[in-house]
């Protein structure tokens, strides 16, 4: 199991995956908006999306878990 965490504080602009999706290492799972820039959050491991812990338009802090892979 692996957690995909926010690398910056910002707002969730777009969730790029859904529960059940197969994710490869390097795939963008969430796009964050910070200081008017879009920042992709990429998976560091491969796996299947077990849980999405963020919502579009909601703020997140650096280190928050955004997606859980199994």
User: What range does the domain containing 7 cover?
Assistant: 2-69
pLDDT, residue 1, reads 82
The predicted pLDDT at position 61 comes to 98
CA-to-CA dists, residue 26 to 32, 36, 44, 56, angstroms = 16, 23, 6, 21
| pTM for the model | 0.93
CA angle centred on 42, ends 41 and 48, rounded to 5°: 120
Please report the pLDDT score of residue 30 as a whole number.
98
Contact 56, 2 (CB under 8 A): no
Q: What is the CA radius of gyration of the chain?
A: 11
Q: What is the CATH number of the domain that holds 48?
A: 2.40.50.100
d(CA 17, CA 69): 11
Over the stretch 32-45, which tens digit does the pLDDT of each residue have? 999 999 999 999 99
The 10s digit of each residue's pLDDT in 45-70 is 999 999 999 999 999 999 999 999 99
pLDDT of residue 13: 98
Domain count of the fold of the chain = 1
Q: What pLDDT score was predicted for residue 36?
A: 92
């Amino acid at each position: 199991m692996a957690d995909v965490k926010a690398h910056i504080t910002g707002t969730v602009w777009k969730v790029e995956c859904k529960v059940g999706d197969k994710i490869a290492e390097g795939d963008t799972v969430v796009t964050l908006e910070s200081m008017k820039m879009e920042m992709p959050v990429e998976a560091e491991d491969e796996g299947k999306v077990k849980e999405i812990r963020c919502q579009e338009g909601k703020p997140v802090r650096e280190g928050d878990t955004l997606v859980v892979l199994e």
